[in-house]
Amino acid sequence: MMKLSSNMILFLLTVVLVLLAFVHKELLRDKFVIPAPTGAYRVGYQERVLMDSARVASTSSSGYRNLIVSLYYPTTECEGESVSYLSPESPVVHNLAQVLGLPEKSLKHIAEGKTHSYLNAPVADVDELPVVLFSHSINGMRGQNTYLVEELASHGYLVASIEHDGYSIGSVFPDGVVGDFLKHDVLQDVSAGGEIIDLWSEDQLFVYEQLQQLNNKGKLFSRQINLGKAGLVGHAFGGAASFNTVTVSDVFESAVNLDGFYFGENYTKGTYKPLLEIRAEPRPAEEMKPRQLEQVGMSRQEYQTMMFDEWNRRINYYAKGVIYRYALHGAKHLSFTDLVLAVPFKRLLLGDCKYYHNETRVLVKAFFDHTLKGASFGLIGSSSLAEPIHAVSA
């Protein structure tokens, strides 16, 4: 048996201490903290449960399709503590751990996180509020992009974040009913994705109609909501649904897709409405390792077809007018959401997500400022992380 010298023992102890210090530093850094919005206003918050009596749904206690919607809006008066990111009793953490493939204990700190929004704060004294509807990803949730919706609200937008029941991480309704989440990957079943995307477009149009009623009859807003200036933004499937909706309805002025494949058949109709696509720069098919292909459930050719050939074919059909396309170098699919903030050792595994969040906020705000407020859109990106794929004028 080899006997270690005192110098070797001292060296090994030093290595262990350095590793422990590094782990401790990363754990401290891994606290779940939503970046603060940068606008002139603070952010007010309300939740609404909206029932669509025109659509039957067996999953709800009412028998009709119910949607939970979070409203974010500008305010100048805030009292008490900001709203928690999640309720400690929420089943969302358990479901999220299953979806991400992480231990549930590693995600407990999400429930302890705080937003920058204040419940029932009065609406700021502004003449009008342009509207943005947000839709989450499949097995996401209405609060998954709080960093983005709070940013828009702080700059004078009303943001309605929709939770698409049955396809979220688990909607928790006031009557105690908890919605289920999808058990299969829509990337493996494009035809099923086509059916679901039309349902989500119906959800978006229904929420738009409900905002009209809220504007006319509600106590919170004094006819400040300008539904003539409305846009859509979504992550993944929610982004694809946003593009889908502007092809079937004229009520929205523009749409943003954050890293979502284009399901359904309505892309063949196209739209003249301005579009913005921001995606994580995909790894070239020839660089994909067998394990990575196994994780996405595709062959190398299937990956090439979906992530490049078919993706570009569909977006070229969609864009009859102006489209801005950006790729975020080094970003992952989750980089566009708050959920990346919950991943242990996120900086090592997923890069510095604050840069991706900042880049997304800057681009999305500039796009809506242009399409809903009339500002110029000469922005290429606030850093070298985002580079335009192309920008085509009508």
The mean pLDDT value for 157-174 works out to: 89
pTM of the complete model: 0.87
pLDDT at 76 over 70: yes
> And the tokens for 105?
């204990």
* Range in 82-91, 113-122, 171-180, 365-374 the model is least confident about: 171-180
179-218 confidence digits (pLDDT tens): 666 655 666 666 778 889 999 999 999 999 999 988 887 6
78-117 confidence digits (pLDDT tens): 888 899 998 766 777 888 877 777 777 777 778 778 999 9
Query: Residue 162 belongs to what H/E stretch?
Result: strand 158-163
pLDDT at 387 over 70: no
Residue of 350 and 272 predicted with greater confidence:
272
346 confidence band (pLDDT: 50, 70, 90): very low
DSSP 3-state of 277: strand
Q: Is 274 exposed, middle or buried (0-12, 13-18, 19+ CB in 10 A)?
A: buried
Q: Is 47 exposed, middle or buried (0-12, 13-18, 19+ CB in 10 A)?
A: middle
124-149 confidence digits (pLDDT tens): 999 999 999 999 999 899 999 999 99
The mean pLDDT value for 18-43 works out to: 70
> And the tokens for 3?
């006997």
Looking at the DSSP bridge assignments, the partners of residue 263 are: none
pLDDT at 23 over 80: no
> And the tokens for 31?
């606290």
Q: What value does the mean pLDDT of the chain take? A: 84
pLDDT at 17: 59
Amino acid letter, 116: H
The mean pLDDT value for 266-286 works out to: 94
pLDDT at 59 over 90: no
The mean pLDDT value for 29-39 works out to: 84
DSSP 3-state of 161: strand
> And the tokens for 38?
């940068």
Instruction: Work out the percent of the chain whose per-residue pLDDT is above 70.
Output: 80
**What is the DSSP annotation of 99-154?**
HHT--GGGGGGGTT-B-SEEETPPPPS-S-EEEEEEE--TTB-TTTTHHHHHHHHH
Residue of 274 and 1 predicted with greater confidence:
274
The mean pLDDT value for 163-191 works out to: 73
pLDDT at 249 over 50: yes
DSSP 3-state of 26: helix
pLDDT at 377: 75
Which CATH architecture describes the domain 31-392?
3-Layer(aba) Sandwich (3.40)
pLDDT at 383: 38
